[in-house]
Amino acid sequence: MSNKGNAFFIFTLVLLVFFLAGCHSYRPPTQQLRVRILVTDFQMTDEIRSIPREVRGWWFGARDVHQNSNSGEIFADILAKELNQAVSVADVYSRTDFKYYKANKRERMKDAFPHLDDVAIAGLFAEIPPLDFARDLQTDVMLIGRLNRSYTSHNRAFHLWSSVVDADVILVNVESGEPVWSGRIALRKNFRGQPHTMRVAAEKLIIRMKKEYFDKY
C-alpha cells in the first residue's frame, strides 16, 4: 500500500474511533417520572362543621371564635394549588374537574336509584371509599387529611386576633391502598386571617412532603 493510501487509511480509522466514542458517550435525555395526585376534601371535626361562632374563655381571656364549615374544601384547594407550583414531578388532578366528576357521579346514582331522595343519595355517596374515586380517575397518589382545628379568634378585651390551623395529612398509594407519607402541621399566625394561615401551613407541609417523599420518587 502506498504512503498516500496509508495516510487515508489512518485518517479514516481516527474518524471512526471518534465517531464511535461520541456514540458511546451519548445518552438520550431521561424522562422524569410524573406523579398524578388526587387531593380530596379534608375531613373536619363536628365542632368546625357545626359551630360557626362561639365565645371561649372568660373575663379578659374571652374570645370570639369563628369557624367555617367549608374549611376542609378550602384547605384542600390551597394545598392542591401549592403542590402544583412547588413539586415539579406532581400532576395534581384539577380540583374543579374533581367537583364536576363528583356531581356527575351523584347524578348517575340518582338515575340508578330513582326512588331515593337527595338525602339518601348523599348517604350512599358518602359510603363510597375515596380510593375508588382515585382509581377511577387513574391517579397514582391520593392526598387525604383531617382538620383538627381551624378558626380565627378575636380577644374581646385587648382586640388581639389570630388564626389557627391544625391538620393531619396522609399520602396514599392508590394501587396498594397503603400510606406512603404522613405529617401534621399546627400553626398559629397573629393578626392574620384563615386564608393566609392555611397557605403558610400548606407551604410548610409541602416542604416536608417534597423532601421526605417526592424527591425520592
Domain boundaries, the chain: 39-93+139-216
Tell me what pLDDT residue 3 has.
Answer: 53
Rounded to the nearest integer, the mean pLDDT of the chain is 87
What SS3 string covers the chain?
CCHHHHHHHHHHHHHHHHHHHHHHHCCCCCCCCCEEEEECCCEECHHHHHCCEEEECCHHHCEEEECCCCHHHHHHHHHHHHHHHHCCCEEECCHHHHHHHHHHHHHHHHHHCCCCCHHHHHHHHHCCCHHHHHHHCCCCEEEEEEEEEEEEEEECCCCCEEEEEEEEEEEEECCCCCEEEEEEEEEEEECCCHHHHHHHHHHHHHHHHHHHCHHHC
Tell me what pLDDT residue 34 has.
Answer: 87
pLDDT band at 216 (very low <50, low <70, confident <90, very high): confident
Superfamily of domain 39-93+139-216: ABC-type transport auxiliary lipoprotein component (3.40.50.10610)
Per-residue pLDDT, averaged over 128-138, amounts to 93
Would the pLDDT of 166 be above 90?
yes
Per-residue pLDDT, averaged over 55-78, amounts to 93
The model's pTM? 0.80
